Amino acid sequence: MYALIPLLVILVGVTAFGLFLVLTEYKPEAEEDSIVIRKSKFPQLQEPITLTTYNIGYACLDRDSDFFMDGGTATTRITYERTLDNLIGITHQLQDLDSDIFCLQEVDTAGSRSNNINELEHMATELFDYNVYFAYDYRAKWVPFPIFHPLGSAHSGLAVMSKYRLLSSKRIALDGQELFPRSLFLPKRCMVVNELALAGSKKLYIVNTHLSAYDKDGLLRRRQFNDIIRYCSELYDGRSNYVIITGDFNLLMDDAKRTEDDPAWVDVMPQSLHDSKFKVVYDKTQPSVRSLDKPYIKDINFETYIDGFLVSPNIDVVDVTTHDFQYRFSDHNPSTLTFRLK
């Protein structure tokens, strides 16, 4: 009988931990206002406008990193000092780019996976001349994988930083969410719809998103993408407004970029894009993401194009550039769109 006591203790502990995760699961509303970090009065838009999208990889996926969910072998988190160095480097990159608007993904505010560094606060402090809004898409009390060196807690989301005033910023939940129990450990996918002030009656919407990466056969990210296209087509409303969708789509920006060497997670954009009026805009000469199965070595790691822009027909594209930063501080390279309003 006494021999069963340790087993019972373990069983009670596992049950209590599971119940804790269920009771504390992050369950955002279908629509919520973004969190206002800083809101100031700035001048109206001056054209041309520059918009940069950048998945910063929570400042922990630098060029020397791999990731277990992508087939990597590293099972321990990087150090506090290395995370901070990466964050400082990313912030300097943003300052050098000096874009009018930044749409950022995987920005941590807390969590053991990024050594409890408030990355949002750091960037907002250093880029002091920007309005800053934030919406969570990931609030996991504990991610128990890998088993022997778990990722731990994660509190992360999407940030928009704008030199110009935002009239509103809303977090909108997407169709195609993970089911239980995966929902306890993975992000709650969303888009953040940001409305910028214009002089006339039209509106400019900048939509920031980060779609699923580890869904089987890309089924969830297709549903998420279709939801975005449906919603943004209504925003566009037959040339009534200007709309740009940007972020980490985890979908190829162009079917022509598909190769025989693509990993299983690589997928193309659904038919809903081709049925819509939105145009794909990305830098065809420079990949935006690398594989995380091994630390980065140029011409060795797999690279492809999943970060970019979908623009409504009344957006005049002046230039698009993906910046070849050699994945120094993140597993993504930032992409910048320069545009005018027709």
Amino acid (one-letter) located at 158: L
In 3D space, the residue among 171, 87, 80 whose CA is nearest the CA of residue 127 turns out to be 87
What's the pLDDT tens digit per position in 302-334? 999 999 999 999 999 999 999 999 999 999 999
C-alpha–C-alpha distance, residues 318 and 232, integer Å: 22
Per-residue pLDDT tens digits for 204-246: 999 999 999 989 889 999 999 999 999 999 999 887 899 999 9
Tokens of residue 302, six digits: 């797999």
Identify which has the larger pLDDT, 259 or 107.
Answer: 107
User: Taking 80 as the threshold, does the pLDDT of residue 9 lie above it?
Assistant: no
Alpha carbon separation from 122 to 5, 18, 34, 57, 128 (Å, rounded) = 48, 33, 18, 15, 10
Is the Cβ–Cβ distance between 91 and 126 less than 8 Å? yes
Q: Are 250 and 262 in contact (CB under 8 A)?
A: no
pLDDT top residue among 122 and 261: 122
What is the model's pLDDT at position 102? 98
Token pair for residue 325? 């930063």
pLDDT digits (tens, 9 = 90+) for 28-56: 999 999 999 999 877 778 899 999 999 99
Give the integer Cα–Cα distance in Å for 322 and 81. Answer: 28
CA distances from 103 to 34, 53, 210, 215 (A): 13, 5, 10, 23
Check residue 333 and give its pLDDT: 98
- In the chain, % of residues over pLDDT 90: 73
What is the predicted pLDDT for the residue at 185?
84
User: How far, in Å, CA of 304 to CA of 213, rounded?
Assistant: 14
Average pLDDT in the chain: 92
Q: Please tell me the predicted confidence (pLDDT) of residue 144.
A: 82
Q: What's the pLDDT at 166? A: 94
Report how far residue 312's alpha carbon sits from residue 236's, in angstroms, rounded to the nearest whole number: 7
Q: Which of 287, 196, 212, 200 is nearest to 244 (CA)?
A: 196
- Give me the numbers of helices (H) and strands (E) for the chain, helices first please: 5, 16
More confident residue, 67 or 284: 284
